[in-house]
Structures are given as structure tokens and as C-alpha cells.
Amino acid sequence: MEVLYSSTRNGEPKFTASQAILKGLADDGGLFVPDHIPALSCSMRDLSGKSYQEVAYEVMKLFFTDFTEEELKNCIERAYDSKFDTEEIAPLVEAEGTYYLELFHGATIAFKDMALSILPHLMITSAKKNQVENEIVILTATSGDTGKAALAGFAGVEGTKIIVFYPKNGVSPIQERQMVTQKGDNTFVVGIRGNFDDAQTGVKALFNDRELAQEMAAAGLQFSSANSINIGRLVPQVVYYVYAYAKLFQEERIAEGEKINVVVPTGNFGNILAAFYARQMGVPIGKLICASNENKVLYDFFATGTYDRNREFVLTTSPSMDILISSNLERLIYRIAGEDAQKNAALMDSLARTGVYEITEQMREQLADFYGNYADEAETAGRIRQMYENTGYVLDTHTAVASAVYQKYRESSKDETVTVIASTASPFKFTRSVMNAIDGKYDAMSDFELVDELARIGRLDVPNAIAEIRTAPVVHDNICDKTEMKAVVKHFLGVDA
């Protein structure tokens, strides 16, 4: 059955999957959502014997219904190949009776690789399907991981350019170095004086700038997005929750139909929304546990039903979650509002104008299977140290937030359901924070000395993503104020004459 996409702020018009992927963001500022969530057409017993690539096809074919089998399989094969350092793509590792779904084995050692390895191929295929002759300009804001993963995915891809904005002092040293050393004539990286929300707001404003769109069209260019707002990012994330369940069943860790809980460290809400979509497809997921850091806007939302971004922005050791405007939450709000685009648009308008919106009691009742909590900096560091001392397994800061929140949930609920924690980044991406958590004696070491020490004490191989940036020259040294983003984009694209 065909799946069509419409905006969360306007139920009409309808778009095919390829059209929605190309546009990225709807013209009215809303996010594209499917007109229905398709049910899995394979049983878990059937899926349990399949490779990651085969599971990816079984999931994606149900959402991307205007892609041919050949087109979709070609995209999948190009994405999930030797760029990943394990054939499993997303291995499950057991520690202290919980399963960590390692989503960091791709080219940039973070979970964003799982979707951004395939997005360029989906986008180029979509352009051909829709006879698009313009060059596609990927415009994205990053809190640390999306930027490098998108750059790696799109670098050198013919018919595309990519522009990434990141908060200049709001990402880890390793994250920044990964981005500013990125090669490729079609790549452009800019640090902004501001935080991630400033970067994301600026990018959304550029997408909605009609005058700029006309200038670009005249130059044979058009914007698209690699952020998690793009449905071509979200659907590939659904895959690994389906795969994780099938893998647990295959290994006889669960019985067929037995529910599992899923814990996701999240700021922008896309990764946990993907788990929610997997649940809607028929994956037996019980609780969806939403883990926040000290920027606990989502925790407060689940606790009170009020979303309020009017608060101090906190820089933490889990920077990819340092977000106060969780864009993907809009897709969930649209759903619990009965897919009433007008109702959702009013809430989003309130957020834009006042920084606050409040959902109804009826909407809150539909969130019963979500659990929100947060871990502060001390709890996050303590969890890294505790896990290392107990098991030798090293968590990154984001995964540690999730693990600490899961401990709180388990203690308060006494729920012993088999649980999968989304492990969203390699500890090598946040070596200083991780090593300081394990032992303060490491503080005097340089970033790359810490890399070698982490490899030694964790009995781990240094990922290629880290090894290759040790001596790589800085290619991008651009910095601008948040008010200058439009001028910077126009200059790079050559439309500022």
C-alpha cells in the first residue's frame, strides 16, 4: 500500500517519499509525516535470520513506496558496506544484564552514520526520479554528530553541496576537528557564535526564506536538509530497533512476542521517535524511556505536559543533547493531537512566539508508554566510572546518560523487562570527559594522548575516524555571528553578487 507524506502543519498536499526526502522541510515549516505507519510484512522469526541490510530493505520498502526494489537495494548496499567496522553494522553488547545497541561503528563513530550513510543515495535517487536538474544544497545545523556524518556522506557526491553550521564552543574537540578537517570541494563548515538552538533556528529561517529560494533557483540550486527533520533520516533509524528485536529473538534472549523496553539518550527526539515508529509497525516495545541531560526540557514535558524552552542553556559533557528545541517532538505532538494539523500548528506557533506550549490531558494520556528522566553531570560521570570498574565496558557520555536514567527507572518501577539501550557514540568521540570520569589523573593529558590511553585501558582499537584526524590539516576555519548565516551561505554559493 502506498505511503504518502504531508506536513504536520497542513494535511494537504500529499507528497511521495522521494519528494518529501528532496524537500526536507515542508513549505509551511512543518515536518513530513507518513499518512499511516505501515505494519511489518515479515514476522520476527523471518527477520531474525536476516542481515542488517536485509532488515533495512524490509522496513524501508514499506515507507519509501515510490522507490523500486532495485533502487532501494542499491541505496542500502552503498550505505551499509565497509565504511562500518563490523559486519553486523549494529551489534548488541550485554553488560550488567542490559543490551547496548552499538550504533557507532560507522565512518564518524556516532549513531548519525546509521542514517546519514544512506541519505545521500536516497537523495540522489529521489532527484533522478523527480527530474530535478538543480544542484542540491544540503543545509544543516549540528550539535556535534550530524555535521560530520552528513559531511562524510555527501563529500564528493556529484550534484550536491553541503553547508554545516555548528556552535563554535558547543561541541567536543574531537567533534570539531572531525568537521573542520573535512575534505571535499562541495563541503563548507561554519562555527557560529551561539548555541545549537541558534544554529537550528537560523537554518530553519533560511529554508523558509522565499527571496533566497528564488535567488538560488535562478542559479540552478535548491536546499534540502540532512537534519533529523528529513524523513529520509528518520526512517533508516527505525531499522535498527527492528533489527535489535530480531537479533534478541534469534539469540533466544526473548520469546517471540515478548516485550522489550528501549532507552534512548535524546535531545532532538528523532532517535526515540524512530523507536516509537518501530513500535507502531508492530515491534513489541513496552516502555520508551527518554533520557535527558541537564537540558531537561523533554523530562519536564513528560512530567507536566508543558513544553517550555525558556530556561538557561547548559553546556554539558553530552553536547549532542544540549538542545532546548526538540524538533522531532512535533511529529509525536501531531500524532497525539489526532493528526490534526491545525491543532499542531497552533501549538508550534505558541512555541515560536512565547517559547511554551501545553498539551491537553487527552493528549497526555497517549504518552503513558513514555517515561522521561534525566541525569546530571555527576550522575553521568559516576555511571561511566561504575560501568568501567564493574565490567570493563566503556560508555560514552550520552550513553551514560541513558544508562543512568535506566537505573532510575528500574529502581522506581521494579520493571525487569529485557531492555535495549541505544549506545549513540563511541567513547573515543568524548575522550576527555570519559577519561576524567574514570579517573581524574588523566586531566593533564592531551586529547590524542587520551585516545591512546582509552584504547589501552578499554582494550579497544582506535577507530579510523580518530586516527585519520590526528595530523589532518584544518580546511574550514569559518566563524560567524548567528545574524550572518544568510550572508555566509550566499557567499559560499556565489549568489551574493
Q: What is the number of helices (H) and of strands (E) in the chain?
A: 22, 16
Quote the cell numbers at residue 59: 522496513
CA distance 372 to 69: 39
* Cα dihedral: 194, 198, 204, 206 (round 10): -40
Integer angstrom CA distances of residue 174 from 139, 144, 474, 487:
22, 9, 13, 28
Surface-to-core class of residue 27, CB atoms within 10 Å of its CB (0-12 exposed, 13-18 middle, 19+ buried): middle
Cis peptide, bond prior to residue 173, ω within 30 of zero: no
Residues β-bridged to residue 33: 6
Q: Is 301 helix (H, G, I), strand (E, B) or coil?
A: helix
What secondary structure, in 3-state letters, does 140-157 show?
A: EECCCHHHHHHHHHHCCC
482 HSE (CA, 13 A, CB side): 17
Amino acid, single-letter form, for residue 241: Y
- Name the nearest CA neighbour of 187 among 209, 204, 208, 165: 165
Strands 98-102 and 419-423: parallel
Say how many Å lie between the first and final Cα of the chain, rounded: 48
DSSP type of residue 321: G
Contact between residue 322 and residue 295 where contact means Cβ atoms under 8 Å apart:
yes
Q: Between 329-336 and 270-281, two packed helices, what is the crossing angle to 10 degrees?
A: 40
- Name the nearest CA neighbour of 475 among 171, 189, 209: 189
Contact between residue 32 and residue 5 where contact means Cβ atoms under 8 Å apart:
yes
Catalytic: 83?
A: no
User: Annotated catalytic residue: which of 112, 148, 204, 343?
Assistant: 112
- Name the nearest CA neighbour of 241 among 101, 130, 87: 101
Catalytic residue positions, numbered = 112
